[in-house]
Structure 1
């Protein structure tokens, strides 16, 4: 199972509801696991490399290299490492968390970088990646696997910007209420690897690139046939960048961040010319997308239906403040159970997207947590009015915000259990200490690396009212 503390989570609260929700999430995560998805489309037969519906003659390649970066990189890079076997010359993977279950060959080096904030270890690993690329030639092939988080893990700021400057910039951007497009516009333009610049460097050596990615961008359609190359692949270190220098400048000035960012960053963006714009096209590369955000929501809905519960995908565009989203979900559950609108109970309601936690300057941070945990904790405040209702909010890659938790699961008993444990939910929300609150309530969910990275997944179960059904799913 992906959920490590499953047994403890279903031993309290609305047990049947929690068992149902956790089972749905576990099945969905297994369905979109990066190792499983890549292994289904990549294989080597003799001298032929098959990736989906395309083929490459390995006898014409001098070296085959693997580069991986991202929060789902463990599973993705392992799949390539295992598929290529002795055909792999060398691999480098930069991950967020190294797991005991990771099994790489001696040909692949694994490094742990920093996320969400870039660090020196990630910088040093990135230098090894750049050295590998710079030593390549026109007869070499790079297979690059990337997922969300690669911007921080594969970090090499443009000089004289330092790693510390880049980390400060990332923290300011992520806590100031910016949308992810605005955040990326800044991060990509101060990096030597991000925003397509790694692919640009590979192209300069004349080497060939096959890119395999997980897209965590809100708004992407479901993948469909993952064995067919994606002609519209964009962003990450290996794809064309859709943001511009002007976007980066507008993000900073539009949110009044100039005085909060390092001078090296603002000076570079103010003085950068057209020659320092990120690349906008790579027609020579072949890209595959193995997962997009709607895939996970659809997998969760299918898992619910397989259990005999009607499921609805409410949205895969959920954005905004996390605690507000949690309040909305509780209101939705109440309407469903009381009035059968917009869906009839019992039912499962699935949503995906990327909500945010806006930490205003001067806020006293009293603990740890992340957007998904704040959503689940906020849901608990109002869920007591909906007997049997249960909500799991998770960051699908397995770590949420500044904590090691994947998210939180709360139900109609959570508020009472919080009070019994002496937990003031509102105070913990104000202090952005959702992890500590959920841990005391027994509602924090632990997974470790899940093998994917598709932003947030929220699964809400609403049983029929007790007078109609005693709450058993």
Structure 2
């Protein structure tokens, strides 16, 4: 099945030649990053011997084998483990953002949780996972599959903080302009599952834990041999946490959230002592990392070069305001096409990372959207003077912000087409309604679950004049 579901409609307008090249590269990149195939390439079962990369386990020594997982790529990750283990799997629980008709499981129960905001369904599913852990013993094995989004999907706040309070806090943090590391510093310290708490609970039962993750943290190094256990695994529900209580308190002050967060959360964090700090090491666990954020650009570059297009990686650390990042990319395209600096056209330029959108007040919101859609809308407003320039930006897991779209694909004709249709792209950005605007001009990208989750994936194509 293709990753980009509406390719035909995306090629029905605009600069078709530029769009087709960008879509070809994006499709090939997302296919290679699919977690189902990545896990199956390193995991196998031969009789009673489970092999993952360079490590093997004798399953006759295990009383129960449990699969637990959460995240926006958890569908494909959990399916891979479920399919490999077959009847050896005692029970599985996976919490996903979107359930797909094509998902197939043997012994795994699937819940649809809340993302980006946690909800009661995710809480109930998390309670089942915790009950499963609490029933385990030293002869049991847990295999956990975790990708980005697990903080919201596997939500179980500490006693005294309600799901509603956690959701309000998450919403305020995401709209504050805080980076995801800062958002997580707060979320991890008010959770009974997040920030390594789940792994801590498994350790308390004496059970063994194998963790398989996709890292969407900006700044991690690219993967090499994914079959070699990863010694620097951190964060998520199953790994050590690098943030501290002090970090969480600082975020609240830095983004002026003291008087708007639910009192249950500020009171808990202010009163928390060393015993409430998240765990910082799990040397007994075995972890594997399937992909990291830089892999997006590295694989995309390989795919572009297969097509004889000069390709460059600008950064895998892209952060900041989304619409401004789009304006910058349009400026870069103009420089490339006009002067040959810093790259000579034609070329493709790749970036990845995690841009954000600052929303000062809910009253300003007039529609739906997300960082990727705002990035390409910002690009479109400045790209009219760069003939054939094309910008693709998606949240690589398949849903961008509050919309059902993965992101958007705009080019040098988008602003003119929007104006001809009576659409004001400036107003769409002010109202955070990029989804409605891009849908109206045929520039919203639809994928559904892609099978990976590596933050933002951006492709800029600049043809020669």
With the length of structure 2 as denominator, give the TM-score of the two structures: 0.99
Corresponding position: 1:94 with 2:99: no
| Residue aligning to 1:390 | 390
Q: Structure 1 residues 303-312 or 89-98, which shifts more?
A: 303-312
Question: 2:42 maps to what in 1?
Answer: 41
Matches within 5 A, 1:6-405: 6-105=7-106, 107-361=107-361, 363-405=363-405
Structure-1 separation of matches of 2:35 and 2:355: 23
What SS class does the counterpart of residue 199 from structure 2 fall into?
A: helix
Give the SS at the match of 2:214: strand
For the residue of structure 2 that corresponds to 1:187, the secondary structure is helix
Structure-1 separation of matches of 2:253 and 2:189: 15
Distance 2:183 2:55 in 1: 34
Q: 1:101 to 1:209 in 2, by over 3 A?
A: same
Q: CA deviation at 1:421?
A: 1.4
Asked if 1:423 corresponds to 2:423, the answer is yes
- 1:459 and 1:277 mapped to 2: Cα distance? 40
For 2:54 and 2:69, the matched residues in 1 are separated by 22
Counterparts of 2:239 and 2:88 in 1: how far apart (Å)? 25
Paired residue secondary structure (1:372): helix
CA distance in 1, matches of 2:370, 2:257: 22
Residue 362 of structure 1: how far off its partner (Å): 6.0
Cα distance in 2 between the residues matched to 1:296 and 1:151: 22
Question: Does residue 434 of the first structure (1) align with residue 434 of the second (2)?
Answer: yes
Kindly report the root-mean-square deviation, in angstroms, between the aligned alpha carbons of the 2 structures: 0.7
Shift of 1:2: 0.2
- SS of 2:247's equivalent in the other structure is helix
Give me the whole-angstrom Cα distance separating, in 2, the residues matched to 1:180 and 1:3. 26
In 1: Cα distance, 2:235 partner to 2:363 partner: 33
Tell me the CA shift for residue 363 of structure 1: 4.7
Distance 2:427 2:202 in 1: 50
Distance (whole Å) between structure 2 residues aligned to residue 296 and residue 87 of structure 1:
34
- Residue 296 of structure 1: how far off its partner (Å): 1.0
1:462 aligns with 2:462: yes
SS at match of 2:151: helix
Give the deviation of 1:211 after TM superposition.
0.1
4+ residue stretches of structure 1 with deviation over 2 A? none
Specify whether residues 362 and 449 from structure 1 end up closer, same or farther in structure 2 by C-alpha distance, changes over 3 A only. Answer: closer
Unaligned runs of 5+ in 1: 466-473
Provide the C-alpha distance between the structure 1 equivalents of 2:280 and 2:362, rounded to a whole number of angstroms: 39
SS in 1 for 2:410: strand
Q: CA deviation at 1:361?
A: 2.9
Q: Distance in 1 between matches of 2:253 and 2:327?
A: 31
Summarize deviations over 1:280-325 as a string: whole Å, max 9, x none: 0001000000000011111111111111101001100000000000
Corresponding residue number in structure 2 for 1:469: none
Q: Structure 2: which 5+ runs fail to align?
A: none
* SS of residue paired to 2:84: helix
Q: Give the CA deviation at 1:417.
A: 0.8
Looking at structure 1, the residues matched to 403 and 180 of structure 2 have their Cα atoms a distance apart, in angstroms, of: 20
Deviation at 1:383, TM superposition (A): 1.0
Tell me the secondary structure at the aligned position of residue 355 of structure 2: coil
Seen in structure 2, the aligned counterparts of structure 1 residues 327 and 47 have a Cα distance that, compared at 3 Å, is: same
Secondary structure of the structure 1 residue equivalent to 2:333: helix
User: Alpha-carbon deviation of 1:396?
Assistant: 0.3
Q: Quick one: distance in 2 between partners of 1:182 and 1:16? A: 41
Q: CA deviation at 1:80?
A: 0.2
Aligned partners of 1:395 and 1:339: how far apart in 2? 31
Residue 414 of structure 2 is aligned to residue 414 of structure 1: yes
**More deviation in 66-75 or 293-302?**
293-302
Whole-angstrom distance in 2 between the partners of 1:411 and 1:161: 46
In the TM superposition, residue 401 of structure 1 has moved relative to its aligned partner by: 0.3
Shift of 1:125: 0.6
Q: Secondary structure at the match of 2:209?
A: strand
Q: Distance in 2 between matches of 1:112 and 1:418?
A: 36
- Is the partner of 2:116 in helix, strand or coil? coil
In the TM superposition, what whole-angstrom CA distance separates every residue of 1:212-254 from its partner, at most 9, and x where no partner exists?
0000000001010100001110000000000011110011012
Query: Following TM superposition, by how much is the alpha carbon of 1:192 offset from its aligned partner in structure 2, in angstroms?
Result: 0.3
What is the CA–CA distance in structure 2 between the aligned matches of 1:462 and 1:435, rounded to whole Å? 24
Paired residue total: 464
